[in-house]
């Protein structure tokens, strides 16, 4: 059960959307929210170079790094003040803190005390990044010790969740989360499984059906045939699914570096929230 939700806050539109999703979830699960703003040491490295230039004769740049840190701290406090006000308005329990370091590392460290991390697909520097996911979001997905929910820039309450199930340990954990979610929100749940030949999916889908029965979830079970990433993407788009539960599938011992080809493909090509179990 989700009782502690970590929501990193950077003042971006994606961060605000993550907070909206968090507020929505917290009210349903009666959970507490944890706000985190990180003073990014990477952002301070540039000013440090200016300090070095200043030491060679460019006096105006001296102490620029410390001033930048103070400015980032002040901004972070303002952002967390807005976070606390939003929680108070909804009558929710919350806590907040400022971290110092590499953003993704600080988020993953704080995640140890949470049941779920909610992040926007892209963050404050979205205009400087390429691709669907921001660099910080990708790093958190690869390294977080807890489930991560990646959300789009605009909040829309999901109504048609889908679970991609392949029988792996991470997919089994995703099934548990999907069952809790569908039960709490009284939503129908579609479970899909993909194999080269459709008949190969039937035992997995039967296992999922047996698992979900005690939850009383209204579930449908769909075997898909073909290449897993493409089949899942196509099915989601054709049937209007607006929340996907998946496990991080991989075939490497270097877990922090790999999400799995199916997971990454679906995440990059299907819009809407994405719930990933590691």
133 in the same domain as 31: yes
CATH, residue 186: 3.40.50.12370
Q: 14 vs 55, which has greater pLDDT?
A: 14
- Flag whether 237 is in a domain: yes
Summarize pLDDT for 16-32 with one digit per residue, the tens.
999 999 999 999 999 99
| pLDDT digits 0-9 by tens, 122-136 | 655 444 344 445 688
The answer to whether residue 156 sits within a structural domain is: no
Residue 84 lies inside a defined structural domain of this protein:
yes
Cα–Cα dist 69/46, whole Å: 12
Domain of 123 in residue numbering reads as 4-45+66-151
Total domains in the chain come to 2
| H helix or E strand, kind and range, residue 261 | helix 261-269
What does pTM read for this prediction? 0.86
DSSP H or E stretch at residue 181: helix 169-185
pLDDT band at 240 (very low <50, low <70, confident <90, very high): very high
Last residue in a domain, options 132, 151, 170:
151
Q: How high is the pLDDT of residue 248?
A: 81
- Residues 86 and 212 occupy one common structural domain: no
56 falls within a domain: no
Phi, psi torsion values for 192, nearest 5 degrees: -120, 150
d(CA 12, CA 122): 9
């Amino acid at each position: 059960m989700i009782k502690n939700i970590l929501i990193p806050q950077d003042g971006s539109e994606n961060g605000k959307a993550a907070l909206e999703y968090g507020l929505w979830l917290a009210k349903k699960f009666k959970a507490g929210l944890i706000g985190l703003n990180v003073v990014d040491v990477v952002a301070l490295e540039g000013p440090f170079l200016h300090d070095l230039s200043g030491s060679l004769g460019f006096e105006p740049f001296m102490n620029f790094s410390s001033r930048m840190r103070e400015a980032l701290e002040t901004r972070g406090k303002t952002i967390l003040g807005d976070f606390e006000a939003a929680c108070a308005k909804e009558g929710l329990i919350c806590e907040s803190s400022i971290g110092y370091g590499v953003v993704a590392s600080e988020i993953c460290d704080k995640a140890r005390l949470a049941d779920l991390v909610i992040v926007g697909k892209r963050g404050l520097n979205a205009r400087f990044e390429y691709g669907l996911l921001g660099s910080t979001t990708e790093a958190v997905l690869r390294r977080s010790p807890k489930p991560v929910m990646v959300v789009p820039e605009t909040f829309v309450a999901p109504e048609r969740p889908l679970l991609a199930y392949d029988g792996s340990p991470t997919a089994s954990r995703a099934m548990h989360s999907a069952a809790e979610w569908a039960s709490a929100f009284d939503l129908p749940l579609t479970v899909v499984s993909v194999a080269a030949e459709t008949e190969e999916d039937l035992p997995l889908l039967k296992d999922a059906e047996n698992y979900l029965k005690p939850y009383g979830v209204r579930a449908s079970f769909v075997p898909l045939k073909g290449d897993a990433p493409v089949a899942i993407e196509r099915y989601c788009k054709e049937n209007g699914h607006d929340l996907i539960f998946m496990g991080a599938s991989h075939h490497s011992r270097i877990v922090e570096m790999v999400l799995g080809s199916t997971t990454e493909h679906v995440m990059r090509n299907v819009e809407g929230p994405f719930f990933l179990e590691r």
